[in-house]
């Protein structure tokens, strides 16, 4: 940061804490980037957003408030020009700076210290948050975990035996009478797009029960009466009345009934027996 009579008269210790090593890279991004409500597959990022280039911070070493600025130059009469600091939508709201570049260093020092940085633990919380520092190490670890989880899910999908493929397909409420290759492909697509849900599915001890009940529903062994919100035998005899729900929520209630009572166990055994036919 350029020191002038008016700006950036910081203690050496504070200024040194903002120095980048040659070749070191830091990335900042606009704070609070969210999905576009009109198109959730995209992010809602403004075309441009500027960072105020003049601020005031507390210097612990000097025990005083110091005016800081992203000073670009100052003439002999003390007139200042400032770096224009913008985050742009066409750069996904990110800004990357490199150590060893004079301008990048000046901007980085200012961004590190100013109160508009959400990552600054000493910021004045009355000031608007504009941006934050991207923790590259944490980001890399998160992405690595995501890749490892996807790899685990895809490997698990490929290793399922045909019976498991049918059971997990039925547990999802899908038709499991189709060719196993088709069913496996659908499970592998789930593993690829949503590995967490897939791993939860195959790790769920009640998945086979859900598969059996879904088969029973598809084959007419049992019926879900939506008007009465209850499961029935084909002769209209009630099995269980559930909370007003549809789809998997109702099935989950029936599963709970089957595993928590002797009557429910007998109901499940009957469904299991008839659904196999």
Check residues 191 and 276 and name the one with the higher pLDDT.
Answer: 191
| pLDDT range class, residue 80, cuts 50, 70, 90 | very high
Contact 111, 104 (CB under 8 A): no
Residue burial 76-90, b: 16+ Cβ < 10 Å; e: rest:
eeeebebbebebeee
pTM of the model: 0.53
Q: At what angle do helices 180-193 and 162-171 cross, to 10 degrees?
A: 60
Distance CA(123)–CA(31), nearest Å, equals 15
Residue 190: per-residue pLDDT = 95
| pLDDT range class, residue 247, cuts 50, 70, 90 | low
Q: Taking residues 131-146, what's their average pLDDT?
A: 80
pLDDT in tens, 198-211: 999 888 878 888 88
Lowest mean pLDDT among 7-11, 149-153, 206-210: 206-210
Residue 249: per-residue pLDDT = 81
Q: What angle do CA 225, 231, 234 make, to 5 degrees?
A: 80
138: pLDDT strictly greater than 70: no
108: pLDDT strictly greater than 70: yes
Q: Taking residues 18-24, what's their average pLDDT?
A: 93
The token duo for 44 is: 């809602």
- Per-domain residue ranges for the chain? 12-134, 136-204, 205-277
Residue 113: per-residue pLDDT = 98
Residue 277: per-residue pLDDT = 66
The mean pLDDT of the chain is: 91
Percent of the chain with pLDDT over 70: 97
Q: Taking residues 56-74, what's their average pLDDT?
A: 96
Distance CA(33)–CA(189), nearest Å, equals 28
DSSP lists the bridge partners of residue 24 as none
Q: Taking residues 123-134, what's their average pLDDT?
A: 95
pLDDT in tens, 158-200: 989 898 899 899 989 899 999 999 999 999 999 999 999 999 9
Residue 54: per-residue pLDDT = 97
Distance CA(201)–CA(58), nearest Å, equals 53
248: pLDDT strictly greater than 70: no
Pairing, β 80-82 against β 86-88: unpaired
DSSP lists the bridge partners of residue 26 as 97
Q: What are phi and psi of 161, to 5 degrees?
A: -80, 165
Check residues 245 and 220 and name the one with the higher pLDDT.
Answer: 220
């Amino acid at each position: 940061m350029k020191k002038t009579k008016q700006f950036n008269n910081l203690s050496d210790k504070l200024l040194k804490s903002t120095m980048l090593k040659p070749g070191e890279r830091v990335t900042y991004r606009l704070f609070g980037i969210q999905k576009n409500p009109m198109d959730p597959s995209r992010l809602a990022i403004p075309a441009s957003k500027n960072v105020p280039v003049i601020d005031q911070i507390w210097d612990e070493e000097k025990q005083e408030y110091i005016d800081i600025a992203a000073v670009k130059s100052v003439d002999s009469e003390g007139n200042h020009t400032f770096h224009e600091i913008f985050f742009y939508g066409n750069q996904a709201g990110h800004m990357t700076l490199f150590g060893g570049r004079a301008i990048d260093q000046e901007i980085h020092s200012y961004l590190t210290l100013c109160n508009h940085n959400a990552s600054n633990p000493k910021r004045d919380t009355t000031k608007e948050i504009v941006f934050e520092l991207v923790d590259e190490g944490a980001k890399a670890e998160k992405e690595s975990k995501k890749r490892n989880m996807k790899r685990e899910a895809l490997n698990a999908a490929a290793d399922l035996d045909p019976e498991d493929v049918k059971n997990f397909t039925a547990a999802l409420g899908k038709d499991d009478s189709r060719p196993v290759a088709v069913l496996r492909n659908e499970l592998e697509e789930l593993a690829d797009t949503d590995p967490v849900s897939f791993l939860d599915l195959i790790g769920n001890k009640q998945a086979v029960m859900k598969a059996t009940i879904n088969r029973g529903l598809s084959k007419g062994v049992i019926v879900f009466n939506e008007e009465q919100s209850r499961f029935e035998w084909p002769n209209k005899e009630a099995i269980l009345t559930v909370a007003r729900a549809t789809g998997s929520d109702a099935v989950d209630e029936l599963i709970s009934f089957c595993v928590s009572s002797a009557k429910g166990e007998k109901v499940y055994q009957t469904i299991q027996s008839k659904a196999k036919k």
